[in-house]
Structure formats: structure tokens, C-alpha cells
Structure 1
Amino acid sequence: MKIRNFEDMNLQELDVMKEISSIGTSHAATALSTFLQKEIRITLPQISILGYEDAVNSIGDIEEIVAATLVTMTGDVKGLMLFLFNMDFANTVLEKLLGKNYTSFEQLDSLAYSALEEVGNIIICSYINAFAQLVDMDIRLSVPSSTVNMLGGILTVPITEYGYETDKLMYFNADFVMEGKKLSDWLLMLPDIASLNHILEKLGI
């Protein structure tokens, strides 16, 4: 039976999506490890179907300033992919790449901003490439766009885009761990409902 919104997914469907997410996130961690020349592990991935307010509360404070990289998916899967990270994650990456730390996102110079955008792009592309191979689908990604804004403002983007279909977000969480330090980050893969049904059909569910 086809699902009509994210919350219609049963436990089997959620478990399969979590397993694919785990593999995708592992590939993203490997790509980031190669880029930074540092060993990176991931914590056990979780998947949640959350409304806007619950999603914000599970990630952080609605007014917290975070960075985000966004890409649009086309091809066999249509939708959005959003990667978010806080200042602690940003500084850990920038320390390795540029040997610098910043007290806030507002202080980032163009080189630092470009470096973070590249990191977001690497993580999303690695994740989606692994996902596409697993489900045997052609998923194309737009040129990434990055922004720095309050968490609440950033999460209105997918709600605005797909609010006509669902008021829920499909949210994956698996923290990266580098040199014993847990780096909080969040991935939101948001296929439209038709694409989600296509994915589940390809998986034989």
C-alpha cells in the first residue's frame, strides 16, 4: 500500500530507511575523513518523523545560529537534502583546514565560508551517492547553496517547499566523532511522497 505522508511509514519501512541512512552516513564520514586527513567515526544513526516544532526542539534552540548546506534532488528522486551544523562543528573543521577558530558564524571570512560549504557538499554528495547505489536509482543533485541563519528559519525551507504534502520532516541523526570529540550535525533527506514510494518499491517493501 502506498504511503500518503511520512507518518504513514511502518516500523519495517523506517528500519530499512535507517539502515540505508547508516550506510550513507558512513560513506559521508569516510569522505570527510579523507578530506580532513583525520579518522572519523559515527554514532549509531537514528531516524525520526517529526513535526516542525519537534524537529527544532530535537536539534537545538529555535534561535540558535547554525550553518546549512542545501541541495535539490532530481531524477528518480525529487526533493531536498539539508545538512546542518553548529559553531563547534565548524570550528573543529576550520581548525584542521585553516588553523583558525572563530567565535561566531558572523566572523567567518570568505575562505572559511567556502571551506564549510565544501564540507557540506562533500557530506551530502557522499551520502546521496551511497544511497543511490543501494536503491539502484539515478539521483542528481543541484549546485549546493549555503546559509547561516537561526535554526527555526532554516527549517522553514523544507516546510515551505513540501507543506502542501506533509507537515512532517524525516530527520536522520548520527554524530561524527573525531579525536574522541562528538560533533553534532543533522541530515534531513526530504524526498517528495511520490519519490518515497518509489524508493520503498525499489526496496521491495
Structure 2
Amino acid sequence: MKISSYDQLNAIQLDALKEIGTIGSGNAATALSGVISKKVRISVPKVSILDFNTALNILGGPENIVAGIMVRMSGDLNGIMLYLQEMDFINVALDSVLHETINSYDQLNELSQSALVEIGNIMISTYMNALSSLAGLEVSLSVPAMCINMAGGILSVPMVEFGYETDKIMMLDGSFSCDGQEVSSKLLMMPDFKSLNYMLDRLGVGNID
């Protein structure tokens, strides 16, 4: 049975997505370690299928300001990936790369934003490369774009684009450990259902009742 709702994902399919999340996040941690020249470890990520209101609450509420790096997927997978960088992660990254930290998002200048976009792009690309390799997919990613906005405003982008199909979103939530400091990281992924079914088929867990 082809799925037409995230609620239809069964335990086997969710386990497959979690396994990809674990492998992809591990590769992303290795890539991040190379960028910031520090040893980085990541906890086993939690993969959740959330409605938009629950996702907003996890992000601190609709008015909480967050920074996101967004790319569009095309090819075997079509949809949106959004990598959310919270303040603790931003300061670890900026301190390592530019030797500076910030207290608020409005202190981000052109150079620091460029550095964060590049780090976000590396993290997303590394995760997607792991997924593409495991499932044998050909996926192209758009040029990344950074947005700093209220969480409600950022999540409205996938909501507007895919809200006619679903009110759910896939969130990979993990914690990085660097120099004894725990920093959070969240990756939101929303493929359209045709893409999601194709990915599950390629992983060998499609059409499972």
C-alpha cells in the first residue's frame, strides 16, 4: 500500500528512516568536525513525525526567532530540507571559524552569515549523500538560502508548499558534543508523497502493511 499520510508510516518504515538519520547525522558530525577543527560527537538522533503546531512548540513557539538554512530537493526526491541552527550551535561554529560569538541574531554580519550558510550546506549535503548512497537515489540540492525569522514564519514555507498534502513534517533532532558543550541541531525534511514512497521502495520497506 502506498502511503498518502505520514500517519501511515509503520514501525519498520520509521526504523528505516531512523537508521538513515543515524548514519547521516554521524557523517554530518564528521564533516562538522573537519570544518571547525574540533572533535564532534552526536547523540543518536530522534526521528519524529510532527504536526506543525507541535513542531513550533519544540522550536520555542511561533514567535521564537530562529535561523534556518533551506534547500530544495529535486530529482528522485522532491521537497524541502531545512537545517535549523540555534544560538548555542551558532556560537560554537562562529567561535571556531571566525573567533567571535553573538548574543542575538541581529549581530550576524555578512561574513558570519556566509560561514553559517556554508556549515549548514555541508551538514545538509552530507546527510543527503548518505541517504542517496543507502537508497541509490539521484538527488540535486538547490543553492542554500539563509532565513532568520520567527519559527512560525520559517515553517510557513513548507506549510504553504505542501499543506495541501499533509499537515505533518519530519524532524531529526540530535545533540552535538564539542569541547564538553552540548549544542542542539534540528533537521526538518519534507519530501512530497510520491518521493517518499519511492524512497521507501528503494530502501526495501515500501508497500508493507
Q: Which digits, 9 at most, give the CA deviation of each residue in 1:32-55, with x for residues without a partner?
A: 100111111111211111111101
Match of 1:50 in 2: 50
What number of residue pairs does the alignment pair up? 205
Counterpart-to-counterpart distance in 2, 1:61 and 1:99 = 31
Q: Which deviates more, 52-61 or 15-24?
A: 52-61
Determine the structure 2 residue equivalent to 1:10. Answer: 10
Residue 111 of structure 2 aligns to a residue whose secondary structure is: helix
Q: Look up the match of 1:112.
A: 112
Paired residue secondary structure (1:48) = strand
Who is 1:102 aligned against? Answer: 102
Matches of residues 57-136 of structure 1 in structure 2 within 5 Å?
Answer: 57-136=57-136
Unaligned stretches of 5+ in structure 2? none
State whether structure 2 residue 27 is matched by structure 1 residue 27.
Answer: yes
Question: 2:38 and 2:61 mapped to 1: Cα distance?
Answer: 30
Task: Tell me if the contact between 1:40 and 1:176 (Cα under 8 Å) persists in the aligned partners.
Answer: yes
Q: For each residue in 1:71-123, what CA deviation from the matched residue of structure 2 results, as whole angstroms up to 9, or x when unmatched?
A: 00001111111100112211111011111111111011111111111111110
**Quick one: distance in 1 between partners of 2:106 and 2:83?**
19
Gaps of 5+ in 1: none
Q: Relative to structure 2, which stretch is displaced further, 142-151 or 53-62?
A: 53-62
Letter in 1 for 2:62: I
Secondary structure of 2:100 counterpart: coil
Matches of 2:184 and 2:151 in 1, distance apart? 14
Matches within 5 A, 1:99-178: 99-178=99-178
Does the CA contact (< 8 Å) of 1:65 and 1:86 recur in 2?
A: no
Deviation at 1:176, TM superposition (A): 1.3
TM-score by length of 1: 0.97
* TM-score of the pair, normalised by structure 2: 0.95
Q: For residue 199 of structure 2, give the secondary structure of its aligned residue in structure 1.
A: helix
What SS does the corresponding residue of 1:82 show, helix, strand or coil?
A: strand
Q: Secondary structure at the match of 1:54?
A: helix
Percent identity between matched residues is 46
SS at match of 1:187: strand
SS of the equivalent of 1:174 reads strand
